[in-house]
Amino acid sequence: MTIDPVTLTADLIRCPTVTPEEGSALVLLDDLLSRAGFETVRVDRNGVPNLFARWGPKGVARTFGFNGHTDVVPVGDLADWSVDPFGAEQRNDILYGRGATDMKSAVAAFAAAAVDFVSETPPDGAVILAITGDEEGPARDGTRALLDWMGHQGERMDVCLVGEPTCPVTLGDMIKIGRRGSMSAWMAVRGKQGHAAYPHRARNPLPAMVRLMDRLAGRELDRGTEHFDPSTLAVVSIETGNDATNVIPGTCRGIVNIRFNDLHNGAALSDWLRAEAAEVAEAFGVQIDTEIKVSGESFLTPPGALSALVSGAVAAETGLVPELSTTGGTSDARFVKDHCPVVEFGLVGKTMHQVDECVPVDEIVRLKAIYGRILRDYFG
C-alpha cells in the first residue's frame, strides 16, 4: 500500500479547516488510517476535533509518535489571493492553498510514510499519530486533549516528532530541539479624564504608561544560554481610544509580549511585571490592572538519541546536516514535551500564514522520504 503524499496534501487542502472547523480533514485521515490497519479514535473535546491513531500493540517497549494539526489560520482578504485558498491548485510543480506549508503537507507526509512503513515492514513496536484541529487557535482542547486522553487510556509515545515547518531556507537545514516560552501581559492604567487645558484637574494615565513601557522594554532579561538566544520583550500596543485633542483620557491600555529562554519561567516573569507596574502606579498616583497569559514555558530536548536519529535521516535524504535550533514561535511541542522527548522537523516555512501559501511538490515527496527513513532507522 503506497500513499502519494502530494495527492493527500491536496485532498487535505480542499478541506476548509479554519480553526475550529474540522472541514472533513480528520474524517479523511481516519478513513485512510483505518483501512491501513490503524486503530483510530476521535478524541474531540469541547467541540474541538482530534484524532488518535495507533498501529501495533498498546504499551509496547518501542512506540514512535507523530504530532501535527490540520487546522489553518483564516485566509484574510480573498481578493488578495491569486488562487482559491481551498482549491489545491498546482502550477509549475507548486501546490497552492491555505495549510500547504503549515502544516497539511507534513501531516500528509507522515501519515503516508507511516502507512507505507507498517504495510511494507511491520515493525516490532507501535506507531502513533496524534492529530489535532486546534493548534492555530486557543490550543486548550487540541493536543492537550489528546495527551490527557492518552494518559487515561494508558497510551504512550516513547518519542515524538512534530511536523511543524522548521527550515528557514532549504528543506533539511534545521531541526527544532526546543522552544522559547511565550507570554503576554495586558496592562490598563486608570487615571482621571479631564480637559487638556486644565491638566491639573485630571490624572493623565499616559505618562505612567510610557514610563512603565520604557522600564519594561529597557530591561535586559539575559544574554542567552547555550541553546537559546537572549529573551526578548516587545511592546506591541499602547492605545487610549481617544482622538480628541482637547481631552486627557481616563484610561490607557498597553500590551507586551515576552519570548523567554530556559533562564526564566512564566511565574517569575509575571511577578516581575506586576512589581514594575506597582512601582509605577505608586509613583504616578494611578491604578494599573495587569492580566497575564503564559502560552507556554521554555523547554529543551537536549541533543541526544532522538535528535541524532532525525538528523541522520535528514542528512541521508537531503545531504544536509541540520542545525539544532530553538528559534521561532511556539508549537504543540510545548505540550508533548511533558509526555515524552520531542523534536520538530518539517518544511521550509517561508509562505506559512501568507496569501498564496504554497509548497513545491517535490518537497512533500522528500519530506515523506525523510519521515519514512526515520521510522525505519528507529525500529531497525
**Residues catalogued as catalytic:** 71, 135
Phi/psi region, residue 47 (left: phi>0; alpha: psi -120 to 50; beta: rest), is: left
Residue type for 87, please? G
Using DSSP's 3-state secondary structure scheme, residue 68 falls into strand
Q: State the Cα angle at 348 between 345 and 354, rounded to 5°.
A: 125
Instruction: Answer whether 228's CB lies under 8 Å from 298's CB.
Output: yes
Q: How many CB atoms lie within 10 A of CB 312?
A: 15
Alpha carbons within 13 angstroms on the beta-carbon side of residue 321 total 1
Residue type for 176, please? K
Of 18, 51, 38, 53, residue with least CA distance to 131: 51
Instruction: Locate 289 and state its grid cell.
Output: 490592572
Torsion sign across C-alpha atoms 364, 357, 337, 318 = positive
Q: Report which DSSP code applies to 50.
A: E
Residue type for 269, please? L
Q: Across the strands, what pairs with 253?
A: 188, 239
